[in-house]
Structure 1
C-alpha cells in the first residue's frame, strides 16, 4: 500500500475501464476513501498526461496514466489534551476506549475542551495518519455525554471507511445495560419505532409516526427490583440519537436518572430505607452503560469483542435497588 501522502501514479488496466475516476483512484491508492479522493480531484490535485482533471465522475480509459497528489494531513482544530483514558484495545488502525460518564465525545459549543477527541489527539499523536485529510480520530459512532461505556474510534482513513461500512450495515454488536423504572412486560421484545427531532422541543428526540429515521431496539429483562425498577439488556440494530432512552420511555419504562425523558419517579422508592432512597435520588445521570462491543476488524478481518464492567456510580445504584450493603 502506498504512503497516503505525496504524488502517486496509477495506470488504467483493462478491468478498470469505465470506472469513475474518484473510485478508480481510491481503489488503487488503498487506504483512502472515495469521499477523500473526490474533493482532491475537484481541487485540481489529479492529472492526466500533465493536464489537470477536475471531474471526479470522469470514466477512465485503458492505458491512461493518472497522477494524484495527496497533501500532508492538516493539523486538527481541536487541541490535544493530556486526559487519562481507559484503553481497552489499540493497534495501528483503531482504538477502543471505555468512556466515562460526563465526558463529551466531540468538541462543540459549550464543550470545546475536555472531550474524548481532545484526549485521543494527545494519546495517539503522530499515529493518526489522517482521516479525511485531517490528523484527527475518526468518530463513527457516539454515546451521550452522561452515558458510560465502550466506543471504537478509527486512527486511519482505511479503518474509518471500514468501520463506517460496518455500522451502516448494522454489523456491529452493541449491548447496553439500563436501569429503568417499573418492571418491563413482556420480559423481552423489540421496539421498532422511528425516531426524529421533537417538533415541540428541539433538544429532545421523539418517536415519530410518519417521519424520522428507522430505529430498532431489542430488550430483555435481566433483574427485577421489587417492581420498583429493573435492569434490562438492550441490543441496538440502529444507532439513533438517544435511541434507548426514547424507546424505553415510549413503552412506559424511562431510564432512572434521565432528566430529559422522564420526571423523577421517586414515589416508587418510598418503601425503601432512607439511605437507599438517597442513593437513587442523587444518581446524577441516566442509568445507561455501553457494556459490550463486538465487530470484525475492518483491516485485519479478526473478530473482536470487548466488555466493560459497570462504573462505580452504576454499581452503587444497583446496590441501592438490590438492598446490598455497598449502597451505603
Structure 2
C-alpha cells in the first residue's frame, strides 16, 4: 500500500522504492496506462508537481519524493442531480461503490429526460458533500440487476480503472437463481454472444459473437421448487452474459421473461454480490459485499458474505 494524502486540490503520493528509475511519462503511459490525451493534459496544464515544483517528465523518479497530482478541481457535471437514498459500500476521494437497487438504470440514455438513474443519484450525493465532480461509472448493471457497481470521481482514476476492467483484474461475483436442477455443482459456460437480429435488446449465443466466459458454482438447491442458486463470476463482461448463458443451457434465470424465465418475481434474479479490485492509487485491495435489497428476498437463505 502506497503512502498517500490529500492537500486541498492536490493528491500526494510518496514515490515508493519500486518506482525508482521510472519517469513521470513511464508512470502515466505504462504503469497507469492513462490515455495519451489525458496524459498530455496533465503535462501541458502543469497538473503534476514533484516536491511542489514543476516536474521534468523525462527524469527518473527518486524514492521518497513527493508526487503531487491536481485531481480535485471542480468539474460541472452534465448530469442533473436527483435525490435517492442509495446504500454506499465504499467511498474515498477517488472512487465510490454503490449497492444499486433493482429496477433502477445505471445511467440515463437521454440526459434531459431521464433523471431517476443511479448516475443522477451519484451526482446528488457528491453535491451534498460539496464535491462538484464529473463522476463516471466504470461498469454497468442491467436495470433489473441489483448490487455493487463502481464509479470514479476523477478522470485519472477512471482511466486506470477502465484499463483494469479491460485486463479483467476487477473481479465481480454474482448470485443468481435459475430454473431447474443443474447436472454439475460447478462449471464453465464458454459461448460467444451476439445481437439477436430479430429483437432490439435481446442477445443470443452465436459462434460469430464476442467471446464470453462465465464460471459458476451451485450454492443452494430448492428441490421442491426445482430452482438452483448459483454463484457466478465472469472472465468477460458482455451484455446480458449470465442471462444468455444460462438460458442457452436450458436454465433461464427466474423472473427473466426476455430469456425464458417464469415471472415468479418482479425482475430477473441476479445480484452483483461482491466486487474486488486494487485501488488505482493506494494499491490497497478493496473488497465490497453488497447486501441483498429485495423485500421479500428472492435469494432466500443466501449469505453474500460467504461467496
TM-score range, shorter chain: 0.7 to 0.9
Q: Which has the higher contact order (CA 8 A, sep 6+)?
A: 2
Q: What does the per-residue CA deviation read over 1:168-226, in whole Å, with 9 as the maximum and x for residues that have no partner?
A: 1111221111000001112210011111211221211111112x211110011111111
Once residues 241 and 183 of structure 2 are traced to their aligned partners in structure 1, the CA distance between those partners, rounded to angstroms, is 19
Q: Compare the two structures and name the one with the higher helix fraction.
A: 1
Q: Which residue of structure 2 aligns with residue 322 of structure 1?
A: none
Q: What does the per-residue CA deviation read over 1:28-48, in whole Å, with 9 as the maximum and x for residues that have no partner?
A: 9x999435437869xxx959x
Is 2:287 aligned against 1:285? no
Distance 1:163 1:128, change over 3 A: farther
Q: Which residue of structure 2 aligns with residue 98 of structure 1?
A: 99
Q: Which residue of structure 2 aligns with residue 208 of structure 1?
A: 206
* 1:244 positional shift: 0.4
Is 2:294 aligned against 1:315? no
Distance 1:317 1:233, change over 3 A: closer
Structure 2 gaps of 5+ residues are 1-5, 11-21, 46-56, 60-70, 302-307
* 1:302 positional shift: 0.5
Once residues 240 and 298 of structure 2 are traced to their aligned partners in structure 1, the CA distance between those partners, rounded to angstroms, is 24
Once residues 246 and 130 of structure 2 are traced to their aligned partners in structure 1, the CA distance between those partners, rounded to angstroms, is 40
Q: Which residue of structure 2 aligns with residue 232 of structure 1?
A: 230
Q: Which residue of structure 1 aligns with residue 180 of structure 2?
A: 182
Q: Which residue of structure 2 aligns with residue 11 of structure 1?
A: none
Residue of 122, 129, 135 corresponding to 1:137: 135
> Which of these two proteins has the greater Rg computed from alpha carbons?
1
Q: Is the 8 A contact 1:32 1:157 kept in 2?
A: no
Residue of 117, 120, 137 corresponding to 1:118: 120
Q: Which residue of structure 2 aligns with residue 273 of structure 1?
A: none
Structure 1 gaps of 5+ residues are 5-14, 17-22, 48-59, 63-69, 130-134, 265-279, 320-328
The alignment's TM-score, normalised by the length of structure 1, stands at 0.69
Q: Which residue of structure 2 aligns with residue 270 of structure 1?
A: none
> RMSD of the TM alignment (CA)?
3.4
Q: How many correspondences in the alignment?
A: 259
